[in-house]
A and B are shown apart, each in its own frame.
Chain A
């Protein structure tokens, strides 16, 4: 069984997961519209402030919009294809992981194809803000259209980094079972932090977001090159290399954690 076999299987599983989601059409449409409203309200919060007061530590509203959009789109990529990695706690507390263990597919593949979550609301919001901010930056001459392929590339590498952080956090669940609180710290708070330029934060927090939880490499670090021409194109490729390293390390950690899995007594 080669990689193609597993990929084909993944596609089949995802298709059936989408079909099951579409059984509740009204819920899906309502959820999509309201998710977009929620996301836009979040961006409005900072947009109103920057519109009133101007740039923050040298970062314009368009630049902050760019960071915001890249993070939203990378997160959408991660949460669409690995929704239940984020929700591993449910499997651990109910013992449902046992069912997945009996399937003749790798456990992570089984988990990733469960309950696939289409997130058009987030895609719409992220896409709109990205278009708006890049249009503004191109019109002002700060960037050219060449920034677009780089941007699409870093959205993917960002998705990989966020997946790696999410998987590593979920793996800790094999020891401590309840990971909800930890996820709030390593995923929610960290992702919120890097929607704004890291220069706003003190050195200890910046280091934390670059070294301990490397979420700063999703949007902020690559944007230094893409938006401001600092360092050089190698920065983007370096981040891709880092994303692969993060992925390998988190997969190895996941494999190790799985050997420590204890089912529930109920």
Chain B
């Protein structure tokens, strides 16, 4: 119940800014539109592999909309700010595990972004580019599981980024590097199989393809449920890492004095 309350509070807080967020959605949709235009331009006089032009438009539309629940996560889950203000000491004193506390808050944020950002942006693309939904309900189910796993991995990644601020007080740049790697290695703009082979190897050795590429491929019907095993494996690895880091954080915490 406590966990649900933490999440719902974060959801409710965002509801106050719905109007501003809708304007932001327009800008976000425009970004995806630009990328789609680039692929339309590239595909004008050559085939685009198994996707084709319409397939690549569908691909970009899905990754751009999904970015709001897998990429645009709160910077370091708010831990850097808590470190600067000293709030982190209070958070560690609460009778809730720090990782669970941060995670529940972020799930509320993600739920809000799914309803008020991802869905409206994707709906707009569906109308604009005449996209259609998958015909089989299991595809939607597997996509949902893949997206939930990628959201969870993103939460864990940002928890780890946030935890570094206990040593550096500033993890802003790490957040942006992570974002750049999402753009490049997660198949946001380029499907992973079109990366140079060495970069493909790097990509598959990292968790990034499971953030966007795998859910998108499942949604578009190119992958089956088997790919979810990779997502699950990374979720387990990240959970262990986050729990381990929390133990270290408890010993490291310094109160900055606000």
Please report A residues at the B interface, Cβ cutoff 8 Å: 27, 30-31, 34-35, 37-38, 41-42, 44-46, 48-49, 52-54, 56-57, 178, 180-182, 184-185, 188-189, 192-193, 196, 199-202, 205
A235 to B179, CA, bound (A): 38
CB < 8 Å A-B pair total: 88
List chain A residues, Cβ under 8 A from B181: 41
A185 touches B23 (CB 8 A): yes
- In angstroms, how far is the closest chain A Cβ from the Cβ of B253? 20
A13 to B183, CA, bound (A): 38
Q: A45-B184, A46-B38, A200-B41 are in contact. Are A189 and B27 (CB under 8 A)?
A: yes
A181 touches B170 (CB 8 A): no
List chain A residues, Cβ under 8 A from B174: 34
- In angstroms, how far is the closest chain B Cβ from the Cβ of A56? 5
B30 touches A189 (CB 8 A): yes
Query: Known contacts A34-B174, A49-B194; can you find 6 more A-B pairs with CB under 8 A?
Result: A41-B183, A45-B189, A56-B42, A181-B20, A181-B24, A181-B27
User: 8 shortest A-B CB distances, which residue pairs?
Assistant: A41-B180, A184-B27, A34-B173, A38-B180, A200-B41, A185-B27, A181-B24, A181-B23
B173 touches A35 (CB 8 A): yes
26 A-B residue pairings within 8 Å (CB atoms): A27-B168, A31-B172, A31-B173, A34-B176, A38-B176, A38-B180, A41-B181, A42-B183, A45-B183, A45-B189, A48-B194, A48-B196, A49-B190, A49-B194, A54-B46, A56-B38, A57-B44, A180-B20, A180-B24, A182-B23, A185-B30, A192-B31, A200-B40, A201-B37, A202-B37, A205-B33
Query: Chain B interface residue count: which class?
Result: 35 or more
Tell yes or no: B34 within 8 A of A by CB. yes
Tell yes or no: B1 within 8 A of A by CB. no
- In angstroms, how far is the closest chain B Cβ from the Cβ of A84? 17
A182 to B194, CA, bound (A): 34
Tell yes or no: B26 within 8 A of A by CB. yes
B34 touches A38 (CB 8 A): no
List chain B residues, Cβ under 8 A from A202: 37
Chain B positions 18-65 with a Cβ under 8 Å from a chain A Cβ: 20-21, 23-24, 26-28, 30-31, 33-34, 37-38, 40-42, 44, 46
List chain A residues, Cβ under 8 A from B21: 181
A45 touches B190 (CB 8 A): yes
List chain B residues, Cβ under 8 A from A188: 27
B27 touches A27 (CB 8 A): no
A187 to B195, CA, bound (A): 29
List chain A residues, Cβ under 8 A from B176: 34-35, 38
A38 touches B179 (CB 8 A): yes
B41 touches A57 (CB 8 A): yes
Contact of A49 among B26, B33, B180, B189 (CB under 8 A): B189
A56 touches B194 (CB 8 A): no
List chain B residues, Cβ under 8 A from A34: 173-174, 176-177
Contact of B46 among A53, A189, A193, A199 (CB under 8 A): A53
List chain B residues, Cβ under 8 A from A45: 183-184, 188-190
A38 to B28, CA, bound (A): 19
- In angstroms, how far is the closest chain B Cβ from the Cβ of A80? 17
Contact of B38 among A42, A189, A200 (CB under 8 A): A200
List chain A residues, Cβ under 8 A from B23: 181-182, 185
